[in-house]
Chain A
């Protein structure tokens, strides 16, 4: 096909959501953050709620999420996004409020804010990108770093005996009655992107119905922090991260699956 035919409107197979800005993404090539951003924005666009949505950006690689997400946003201090979101949502109960957080942000420094926002059943959505490492600060150990996994602060591999166990935060908060929906997804393959987007859509629909807190974890890669090429990092993720952090819904309609 000639290029002129390819760009004809009727041949269009995909277009970028209007809710992603044209700013060049600051993420490393191959990183999952960009895809995660995109599907969150697609859901907001498809639900027609862009004018009623306020996002909360974390401290982490996605600190600049507001440069890419074309909606009103607040940048929170490290770990405090669920408290910031609580403040917004309590005063604007009819708006949609979500946080977008990394694993260091959500499961280490922000553990208290995460657990208590979940326990209060704040009617918000938490998008939790778990890449098992501190990406932004250069690949230090995170609370989610796997046993034996090397990082710049666990150069000989995470020693569970002295450095603790990788924390399964989504399972942990799923046990709280305030959490209505908890799901773990990935965005490294088209089929996973579709499933992840479906879970995010469900999370926002729950907020619309005022069901309580919904959390969607996205197990993602940090090819830079893991010191791997992008493709290799995705293979490593499938072989090592997924067995410990299995994909799928954890709690649906207020019921923990498999219990």
Chain B
């Protein structure tokens, strides 16, 4: 039976990991996401499902533990916040190159550098454009509620295994720390099938050895491998776009926002409507794949887009690419750990309408 609970976003991630039948979690503490590891340690999932939880010596070690375990076909994950995610980038690049499934959660805080422990959305570029070295993409899910912190763990593992690709859940300090009602999904079994085509579980008589690697010294073979990766990413772009549309049918102005900025922008839509401004919200739930086509089609009938992000303006570049000059596209956002208010968002829209 599904179960209703009042939980923090970070706790919901941890509980959902156990329920999704995860085999292991490897992590290292960092604010504002330490509750994931703390919850898992106190919940003792080894007794509940057999799931392994290990506090690693660093984020570097944690992501490499994920790499090793993922190569054996297990359902494994890690979580961290911005500086820790930066440390994981080498490992993530290897995982993407070797085409392994796993889930990585980033509860974003303000940067650059050690920055602040307050919420931010300034890791958009890092998350959606690769992050580490080489030409690769992660599937990026953007939860906007504690409910989605739970649901996207399950979805994340499904997509990771469907495409043998790392999935990044791009959350932020607001969603991670706030408490909301969450409907937890039922316990799922842990995996007992390990695809003999690629997993390193020890070679058997009916299959040769398997090798997990991202290396090919022959540039022509490496180019082929890259082309295969790119074809996979195009397929993901074609099939996996997910959005939520709020009051968009008759909208003249569209807020594009994800995560906690989407929650704030939803309130700004209400405030705008009360003043007679026809505003709507497009909330990407997937940042890669990005809803390019949806935005491009909207651009044929609306007057302008405001990308609302807790950053100096990162996603706005993707909105602009999708709109391709048809109408205006601007950015609004407080950043460095400051969260904008719905009124600030509305003011930004009103100023733009006046100016344009």
Residues of A within 8 A of B (CB): 50-54, 56-57, 63-64, 66, 70-77, 80, 83-88, 90-92, 95, 112-113, 115-116
Which of A63, A70, A83, A95 touches B61 (beta carbons < 8 Å)? Answer: A83
Q: How many angstroms between the C-alpha atoms of A186 and B59 in the bound complex?
A: 35
27 intermolecular pairs with C-beta atoms under 8 Å apart:
A51-B204, A52-B202, A54-B202, A72-B202, A72-B209, A73-B211, A75-B211, A75-B213, A75-B214, A77-B90, A77-B91, A80-B60, A80-B67, A80-B91, A83-B60, A84-B64, A84-B68, A87-B24, A87-B26, A88-B200, A90-B52, A91-B72, A91-B74, A91-B76, A95-B201, A112-B60, A113-B60
Contacts of B54 in A (CB 8 A): 86, 90
Whether B64 and A73, one on each chain, are in contact in the complex, defined by CB atoms closer than 8 angstroms, is no
The reply to whether the CB of B94 lies closer than 8 angstroms to some CB of chain A is yes
Interface of B with A (CB < 8 Å)? Answer: 23-24, 26, 52, 54, 56-58, 60-62, 64-72, 74, 76, 90-91, 94, 98, 200-205, 209-215
Main secondary structure, interface of A, reads helix
**Assembly CA distance A73 to B200 (angstroms):** 6
Known: A54-B200, A87-B69, A90-B69. A77 touches B211 (CB 8 A): no
- The reply to whether B65 and A77 form a contact with Cβ atoms under 8 Å apart is no
**In the complex, what residues of B have CB within 8 A of residue A75's CB?**
98, 211-215
Give the residue of B24, B64, B71, B200 whose beta carbon is less than 8 angstroms from that of A83. B64
- Contact at A66–B211, with CB atoms within 8 Å? yes
Interface contact B204-A86, CB-CB below 8 Å? no
Bound CA–CA A88/B71 (angstroms): 8
Q: Which of B52, B64, B98, B201 has the most CB of A within 10 A?
A: B64
B57 and A80 form a contact (CB under 8 A): no
With A91-B52, A113-B57 given, is the CB distance from A70 to B209 under 8 Å?
A: yes
Could you tell me the distance between the alpha carbons of A115 and B61 in the complex, rounded to whole angstroms? 11
Least Cβ–Cβ distance between B143 and chain A, in angstroms: 26
**Contact B94 A56, beta carbon cutoff 8 Å:** no
The reply to whether B23 and A95 contact each other, CB–CB distance below 8 Å, is no
Q: Which residues of B contact A116 (CB under 8 A)?
A: 56-57, 61
Residues of B with C-beta under 8 A to A57: 213
Is B203 a contact of A71 with CB atoms below 8 Å? yes
Asked if residues A51 and B203 are in contact (CB atoms below 8 Å), the reply is: yes
A208 CB, min distance to chain B CBs, angstroms: 14
Q: B24's contact among A63, A77, A91, by CB below 8 Å, is which?
A: A91
A54 touches B61 (CB 8 A): no
Closest to B75 in A: A91
A91→B69 contact, CB < 8 A? yes
- Interchain CB contact (< 8 A) of B68 among A52, A64, A70, A87: A87
